[in-house]
Structure 1
Amino acid sequence: MVRGVRGRRRGTLLLAGVLAFGASGCGPGDAPVPGGPPSVTSGPALPGTATGPGTPATEPRPDEVLVEVVVSGGFAGIRNRLVVRYDGAWTSGSGGGPARTGRQSPAEAGALRAALEDPAYAQVPDRPTGRPIADGFQYELTHRGRLVVAGDGERPPALQRVFAALPEGGPPTSP
């Protein structure tokens, strides 16, 4: 009998604690840390993403993908892909040709990371806003889960800065 009363007391205390902390902003499945701040995220952070003002969740691994660029279209109907990793290693390939590989210098890799992290790049529209150019190229850039699609003639300065920092002089447009 004593055991049952203690269990109910613990359950009552637990329920009171949950009710007291229920408005802490914790998401489903997130438990507050005693004495810590309430959780404000609804899921696990992506590597290298911020969990609070100026605080990276984790440092990205050197072999993680920094940016992926897919270029398609043009008169020849190409589809090329460029993948750049955080350490500056890159791979570029087209539909049927052999892949090319290389490595940016630390300064070049840093310039690309800076261009992608520039607050102005975050303001680049996710989708094209103008009229497409006949036989023009379409560029799909993916960085930290965000996809930006742009067409020829739609290169705001922040996007142009990213293109200029890519290996081999920009997005691969040769067949």
Structure 2
Amino acid sequence: MFRKRVALVVVAGMLGPVGCTSEEGTGVAEPTDAVVTASTTASPSASPSSSPSASPSPTPSASPSPTPVPVTGPNQVLVTMVVTGGFAGVHKEVTVRGDRTVHAGGKGERSVHRADAAEFTEVRTLLGDPALDDVSDFTKNMQAADLFQYTLRFDGRTVITDRSVEEPALDRLIDALSEWLPER
């Protein structure tokens, strides 16, 4: 699957600083509960010269069902998730490889074990969910403190979230991978 990457530019000058509003006439900006999201995936047919009058392609009535991502070799890294933050300063990570090994670690603790066939197929199916294509690359509540930050690397992308925005496909993947994280 090929995707073009384009930069999303937001003109903040019209709105004021991110996460702030101003009462009319006061000139004083007050913080809000802002959540910043950005997506850099564009369809391959999108181009700067596209006609604004072109009609959008119809959306299918039912979303395609997830298909497990293929495994190309035992050293293939299917997905890596790093969890950081929180009040205690957590740093945990998990990596799933093509040979079904799961490498997990945190606070000096390291483990490697082999996922059973059902767990491995579940993760591959979650990674193959077409809904992941619509997930923003960056979703973070800029006003919240001490939330965990999840950085996932899969399919040539990096997705960063604090789970402040509901993304069902991503949430299912994070939940499945979290099962392998160390307890401490």
TM-score interval (norm. to shorter): 0.5 to 0.7
CA drift at 1:59:
5.1
Where do 5+ consecutive residues of structure 2 fail to align? Answer: 1-69
Q: Distance in 1 between matches of 2:175 and 2:86?
A: 20
- Between Structure 1 and Structure 2, which shows a larger proportion of helix residues? 1
- Secondary structure at 1:107's aligned position in 2? helix
Please show how residues 25-64 of structure 1 align to structure 2 within 5 Å: 60-64=72-76
Larger Rg: 1
From 167, 171, 175, the equivalent of 1:156 is 167
- Secondary structure at 1:112's aligned position in 2? helix
From 155, 166, 175, the equivalent of 1:144 is 155
TM-score after normalising by structure 2 = 0.56
Is the 2:81–2:94 Cα contact (8 Å) retained in structure 1? yes
Residues 1:83 and 2:95 aligned together: yes
CA RMSD of aligned residues (A): 2.2
TM-score after normalising by structure 1 = 0.58
CA drift at 1:65:
0.7
> Taking structure 1 as reference, are residues 146 and 93 closer, same or farther at Cα in structure 2, changes over 3 Å only?
same
Structure 1 counterpart of 2:15: none
Q: Percent identity?
A: 36
Where do 5+ consecutive residues of structure 1 fail to align? Answer: 1-57
Structure 2 counterpart of 1:68: 80
CA drift at 1:173:
7.2
Letter in 2 for 1:122: D
- Between Structure 1 and Structure 2, which shows a larger proportion of strand residues? 2
Is the 2:140–2:164 Cα contact (8 Å) retained in structure 1? no
Q: Distance in 1 between matches of 2:144 and 2:102?
A: 29
> Taking structure 1 as reference, are residues 101 and 173 closer, same or farther at Cα in structure 2, changes over 3 Å only?
closer
Is the 2:163–2:171 Cα contact (8 Å) retained in structure 1? no
Q: Distance in 1 between matches of 2:143 and 2:103?
A: 28
Aligned length: 115
CA drift at 1:145:
1.7
